[in-house]
């Protein structure tokens, strides 16, 4: 036992120094009201939290909007990613390797560059508008393509779909293929076989992709900043504004509200996809 | 080789009438010149066979012989490139598996892990739209049939391999299919359980009276359970017949070797009526009953079944004998199995009945002879590769 604990020491140290301590400091910030900037002195208060939920509903409104946009992007990732993962899993071993490499290829390029590249696709003088103009379909560039919620969701789906595909592929890959044959053998049409056998079997993969897609989008800052425009402002933008204004207390409170939401969500997902329960009893 | 070779090799033997179960004459499944290719590889070459209603029919052969392909074609998981498949008088080519009156017991069982045992059995009933009251009754009936009455609420992962196997059987039988396909269902079980399940499967088949088409590479399994067996090799049906016919009258060297007989190559030296003299490749000359039309110089295979062979240090006159050295002798209770290496490096097996003429178990390394009576062997014409 002691030896095992020694082995955990490096990880524990990193965890405490880089995660736990900053969290505690942020928590203290969020619960303190100080006259001076960056002050941890002053009195205990929950005023920052109250402000998140009041302030004429500005923050609450953006928070809900962030959640709705993240939900839409996650749903799109699942709807596009699931069939693609299914397709990959149904190809030969060799093709699976090729296709999976293609799926993770975007990770070889800088995240910032990839987001920025979308302005070159969706912008007024971007790929789409130039093509439409060249084909004489439009004479004015379509300005609704960029700097709004639409472009923001498009970029979210583009950025996070690999995670959804990989998580769903992993669960499809684990599934015994003969289960589909068995279902069809017992009279299930391909659609029934999918809904009653394949989908329930791969729910852990679906939940994993929700975790990998939905939660990071809640914390997205770069995408709304670069392609979201005014209408695409998300909760993280407001949070960063507070930090820039050195309102650490209020910024920390926003962060903890998001963190609490994520925590509740994770617990909810865990309950609904308890692997133990799914497979054993 | 094309159709002519197939026709030449297939000998449909009429099931002997002495069996306890008279098989109905109606065809449950008919394959008519079915061919299946995978790219350049021909998996099945113009297979034709008729499986009777209520019959326990086995497809026996080594891996890659086409037996599982045949099963998948009947199940509808793959489609033939040529030929016709008829189930209960109706062609099923182009009909998807979920519309065929056929159910399958998969080699891996393929039980749905996210469902209880009862829900697994219920699956087929639901898909066929059977009313709930009827479904509950039939699930109970099936659990009773497989002797696992209180297992409805369990998950497949909580069951042993043998229990999972029986659930897979119940799930496939609950819809009362016209034909039940079984793809090496006992392959994953240990030997003892496999032997129990053979008896169990034969009992269940008698009880439900459903046509079973059983794929196996284990000749003992096929022999003990089947009404008839089709021996397959390299995408062809080599012989169809009762276990007794297959064992006693193999039509080719391949079938004889597959059912465990000793096969020695040789050349006809002289023919005198029904009696022929064969010079074995191993050196000795033997006499045997010959089929008609053989001439001196013809290549033949001499088939000696293990229980027809014996061991003799000094063979008497009038018997066939080959000298050899004892490699192994295993006492099996009712029998002693002796393996003798004869000239040419061939290993011959002799099964000596306990209390038989050779009462002593030979010692390993002992010089001896494998002996058999001239009517105790079978001569087959060698036709190249079959």
Q: Which residues of A touch B97 (CB under 8 A)?
A: 181, 184-185
In a domain, B281, yes or no: yes
Count of CB pairs separated by less than 8 Å, A with B: 66
Please check whether residue B158 lies inside any domain of the structure. no
Q: Are residues B14 and B86 in the same domain?
A: yes
CA gap B269, B295 in Å, rounded: 8
pLDDT at B8 over 60: no
The string of pLDDT tens digits covering residues B270-320 is 888 888 889 998 888 888 888 888 888 889 999 999 999 988 888 888 889
Say whether A198 sits in a helix, a strand or coil: helix
For residue B74, give the chain A residue with the closest CA: A185
How far is the C-alpha of B40 from the C-alpha of A138, rounded, in Å?
A: 53
B56-60 and B228-233 beta bridge pairing: parallel
Under the phi-then-psi rule, with left for phi > 0, alpha for psi from -120 to 50, and beta for the rest, what region is A268?
alpha
Closest residue in A to B157 (Cα) is: A280
Give yes or no: residues B95 and B236 share one domain. Answer: yes
Q: What is the pLDDT of residue A40?
A: 62
Nearest to B157 among A176, A181, A279 (CB): A279
Residue A172 has pLDDT above 90, yes or no: yes
Per-residue pLDDT tens for A203-225?
Answer: 989 999 999 999 999 999 999 99
Task: List the domain boundaries for chain A.
Answer: 45-272
> Which CATH class name applies to A45-272?
mainly alpha
User: Is B282 inside a domain boundary?
Assistant: yes
Measured between beta carbons, the chain B residues lying within 8 angstroms of A186 are 98, 103, 123-124, 127, 171-172, 175
- Give the separation between CA A172 and CA A100, rounded to whole angstroms: 14
Instruction: Quote the pLDDT of residue B12.
Output: 41
pLDDT at B345: 85
What is the complex's ipTM, to 2 decimals? 0.80
Same domain, B96 and B34: yes
pLDDT tens per residue across span B74-98? 999 999 999 999 999 999 999 999 9
Domain termination residue (choose one: B214, B239, B255)? B255
Nearest chain A residue to B123 by CA distance is: A186
Mean pLDDT of chain B: 87
Residue B182 lies in domain: 3-101+177-255
A219 against B357, higher pLDDT: A219
B78 and B198 in a single domain? The answer is yes
Contact A178 B106 (CB under 8 A): yes
> Predicted confidence band at A281 (pLDDT cuts at 50, 70, 90)?
very low
- Of B235, B255, B275, the last residue of a domain is B255
Identify which of B96, B108, B114 has the shortest CB distance to residue A200.
Answer: B114
User: Domain boundary at B255, B289, B309, which?
Assistant: B255
CA-to-CA distance for B1 and B5, rounded, in angstroms? 6
* CATH number of the domain enclosing B341: 2.40.50.100
Nearest-Å Rg of the Cα atoms of chain B is 24
Instruction: Measure the CA–CA gap between B373 and B269, rounded to whole angstroms.
Output: 18
| Structural domain includes residue B118 | no
B229 and B311 together in one domain: no
pLDDT in tens, B42-76: 999 999 999 999 999 999 999 989 999 999 999 99
Counted domains in chain B: 2
Answer yes or no: is B160 within a domain. Answer: no
pLDDT the model gives residue B289: 84
Strand B211-216 relative to strand B179-183, pairing: parallel
Whether B17 and chain A come into contact, CB under 8 Å, resolves to no
Q: Which residues contact A28 (CB under 8 A, 6 or more apart)?
A: A40
DSSP output for B233-300: ETTEEEEEE-HHHHHHS-SSHHHHHHTT-EEEEEEEEEEETTEEEEEETTS-EEEEE--TT--TT-EE
Kindly state whether residues B228 and B266 are assigned to the same domain: no
Q: Give the best residue of B96, B106, B112, B122 to mutate against chain A (max A CB count within 10 A).
A: B112
Better-predicted residue by pLDDT, A69 or B6: A69
pTM, full prediction: 0.80
Contact B123 A178 (CB under 8 A): no
Q: What chain A residue is nearest to B179 in terms of C-alpha separation?
A: A185
């Amino acid at each position: 036992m002691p030896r095992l604990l020694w082995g955990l020491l490096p990880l524990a140290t990193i965890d405490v120094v880089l995660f736990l301590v900053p969290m505690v400091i942020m928590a203290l910030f969020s619960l303190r009201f100080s006259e001076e900037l960056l002050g941890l002195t002053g009195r205990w208060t929950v005023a920052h939290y109250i402000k998140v939920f009041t302030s004429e509903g500005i923050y609450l409104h953006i928070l809900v909007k962030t959640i709705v946009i993240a939900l839409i992007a996650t749903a799109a990732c699942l709807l596009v990613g699931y069939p693609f993962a299914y397709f990959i899993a149904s190809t030969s071993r060799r093709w699976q390797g090729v296709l999976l490499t293609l799926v993770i290829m975007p990770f070889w390029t800088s995240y910032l560059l990839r987001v920025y590249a979308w302005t070159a696709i969706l912008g007024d003088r971007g790929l789409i508008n130039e093509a439409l103009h060249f084909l004489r379909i439009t004479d004015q560039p379509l300005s609704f393509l960029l700097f709004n919620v639409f472009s923001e969701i498009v970029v979210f789906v583009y950025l996070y779909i690999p995670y959804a595909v990989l998580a769903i592929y992993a669960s499809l890959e684990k599934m015994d293929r003969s289960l589909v044959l068995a279902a069809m053998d017992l009279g299930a049409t391909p659609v029934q076989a999918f809904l009653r056998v394949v989908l329930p079997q791969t729910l852990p993969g679906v939940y994993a992709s929700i975790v990998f897609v939905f939660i990071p989008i809640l914390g997205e800052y770069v995408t709304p900043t670069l392609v979201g425009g005014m209408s695409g402002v998300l909760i993280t933008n407001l949070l960063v504004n507070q930090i820039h204004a050195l309102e650490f207390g209020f910024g920390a409170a926003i962060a903890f509200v998001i963190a609490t939401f994520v925590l509740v969500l994770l617990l909810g997902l865990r309950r609904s996809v308890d692997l133990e329960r799914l497979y054993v009893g | 080789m094309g159709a002519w070779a197939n026709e030449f090799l297939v000998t449909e033997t009429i099931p002997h009438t002495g069996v306890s179960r008279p098989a109905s004459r109606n065809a449950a499944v008919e394959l008519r010149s079915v061919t299946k290719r995978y790219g350049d590889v021909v998996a099945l070459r113009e297979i034709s066979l008729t499986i009777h209603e209520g019959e326990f029919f086995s497809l026996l052969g080594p891996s890659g012989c086409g037996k599982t392909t045949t099963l998948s074609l009947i199940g509808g998981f793959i489609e033939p490139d040529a030929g016709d498949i008829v189930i209960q008088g109706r062609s099923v080519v182009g009909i998807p598996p979920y519309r065929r009156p056929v159910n399958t017991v998969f080699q891996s069982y393929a039980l749905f892990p996210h469902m209880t045992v009862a829900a697994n059995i219920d699956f087929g009933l639901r898909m066929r739209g059977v009313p709930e009251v009827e479904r509950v009754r039939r699930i109970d009936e099936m659990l009773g049939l497989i002797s696992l009455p209180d297992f409805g609420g369990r998950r497949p992962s909580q069951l042993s391999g043998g229990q999972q196997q029986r659930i897979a059987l119940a799930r496939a039988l609950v819809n009362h299919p016209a034909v039940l396909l079984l793809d090496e269902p006992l392959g994953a079980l240990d030997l003892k359980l496999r032997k129990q399940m053979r008896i169990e499967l034969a009992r269940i088949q008698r009880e439900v009276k459903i046509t079973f088409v059983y794929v196996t590479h284990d000749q003992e399994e096929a022999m003990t359970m089947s009404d008839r067996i089709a021996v397959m090799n390299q995408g062809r049906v080599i012989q169809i017949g009762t276990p007794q016919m297959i064992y006693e009258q193999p039509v080719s060297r391949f079938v004889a070797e597959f059912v465990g007989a000793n096969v020695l190559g040789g050349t006809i030296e002289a023919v005198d009526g029904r009696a022929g003299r064969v010079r074995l490749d191993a050196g000795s000359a033997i006499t045997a009953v010959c089929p008609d039309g053989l001439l001196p110089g013809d290549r033949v295979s001499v088939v000696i079944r293990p229980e027809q062979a014996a061991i003799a240090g000094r063979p008497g006159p009038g018997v066939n004998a080959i000298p050899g050295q004892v490699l192994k002798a295993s006492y099996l209770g009712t029998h002693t199995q002796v393996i003798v290496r004869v000239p040419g490096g061939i290993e011959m097996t002799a099964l000596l009945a306990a209390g038989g003429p050779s009462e002593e178990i030979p010692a390993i390394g002992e010089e001896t002879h494998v002996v058999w009576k001239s009517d105790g062997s079978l001569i087959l014409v060698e036709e190249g590769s079959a």
